[in-house]
Amino acid sequence: MSPIAALRRSLVSAARGNVAARGGVMKTLSPKAPVVAAAIPHLSSTSTFRSLSSSTMDTMETGTKMYMSLYPEGSTDGSLRLGNIVPDFSAETTHGPMESFHEWKKGKWAILFSHPADFTPVCTTEIGRLAMKYDELKSMDCLVATLSVDPVKSHTEWLRDVVAHCENQIKVEFPIIGDADRSISTAYGMIDPGTSDDQQLPLTIRAVFIINPENKLMLSLNYPACVGRNTDEIVRCVKALQLSYEKSIATPANWPENHADLPLKDGSRTDEFKGSVFLLPTVSPEEAKANYPDYHTCEVPSGIEYLRLVKSEDVEKK
């Protein structure tokens, strides 16, 4: 069975278990337990249906733990993928030498943001826009470093243009890494190893790596040179990742612009669940009720109760 099929099967199985448990029966996992355990190792009868006395948000696993346990920490083929510990490196930057990226970000969230080349139009706007978000990211305890294959001297000269193009309204307070030998870009998969010695082309793609306090790659975005990134989306991703790092939730599509108009059983509609988040499939009905008595289950034809929404203010309170 493919990993996707196994995951789908295990999530549906967990949700079905929740339905059964809602009827008051403490359910053990179905005969498909080995499949479930293989896809989500922590999804066992004990963790799925913990007793009520231990059902606190402190004991329920977080979204990060659940989803990241699906991926290994180490790459088996040298490619960097979600869940992997990111490669450490030393580098020259516009803020001086960075002896170790891991040490620099120690215990914090960080964004590593690459741009193809200095003195190019789209990159100029991207660094300016990122600078405008820097205070907000800093307040979220998220560091920022950017990078291109140009040398640091070039970055420093180019920054004058970046600031001027933002009508001198910004300061670029994050370091820009000079990856002139292309070793970091190659290690992070922004340049193919077979072409990384070519000092002309290719250039780094526009990549965003969002890395958690344990140095795990949590999210990456890859854009081509011809499309500039949206820095609102990057901040949104950090917020969503930080929420699922702390809580047993996952954020829906377009969060926090989601479920603004929800139908209720009595035929009325409500906007109360705008910006709400989903409880993880691994949260039992007992845990859900104990922690979020006001959660809302969306009805669907399958009858499986897996679309369980919690208002964001209720999540923040916990």
Residues forming contacts to ligand BEZ in the complex (CB under 6 A) are 116-117, 120-123, 203, 225
What is residue 174's three-state secondary structure?
A: coil
Which residue is catalytic, options 123, 142, 166, 237? 123
Which tokens is 175 given?
């370091």
Tokens 């193809």 -> residue: 116
Q: How far is the CB of 206 from ligand BEZ (least distance, A)?
A: 8
Using left for φ > 0, alpha for ψ between -120 and 50, and beta otherwise, residue 259 falls in left
Q: How far is the CB of 165 from ligand BEZ (least distance, A)?
A: 12
Which tokens is 66 given?
């659940």
Tokens 């009595």 -> residue: 266
Q: Which residues contact 219 (CB under 8 A, 6 or more apart)?
A: 82, 208, 209, 210, 237, 241
Q: How far is the CB of 208 from ligand BEZ (least distance, A)?
A: 15
Beta strands in 139-227 (DSSP E): 142-148, 176-178, 206-211, 217-223
Q: Is the Cβ of residue 29 or residue 123 nearer to ligand BEZ in the bound state?
A: 123
Q: How far is the CB of 161 from ligand BEZ (least distance, A)?
A: 12
Q: Is the Cβ of residue 19 or residue 122 nearer to ligand BEZ in the bound state?
A: 122
Q: Is 298 a catalytic residue?
A: no
Q: How far is the CB of 89 from ligand BEZ (least distance, A)?
A: 23
Q: Give the CA distances from residue 277 to residues 238, 239, 296, in Å, rounded to whole numbers and listed in that order.
A: 15, 12, 10
Q: Is the Cβ of residue 150 or residue 286 nearer to ligand BEZ in the bound state?
A: 150
CA–CA dist 176, 222 (Å, integer): 19
Q: Is the Cβ of residue 34 or residue 224 nearer to ligand BEZ in the bound state?
A: 224
Q: Give the CA distances from residue 249 to residues 52, 80, 83, 130, in Å, rounded to whole numbers and listed in that order.
A: 19, 25, 18, 28
Q: Would you name the residues annotated as active-site residues?
A: 123
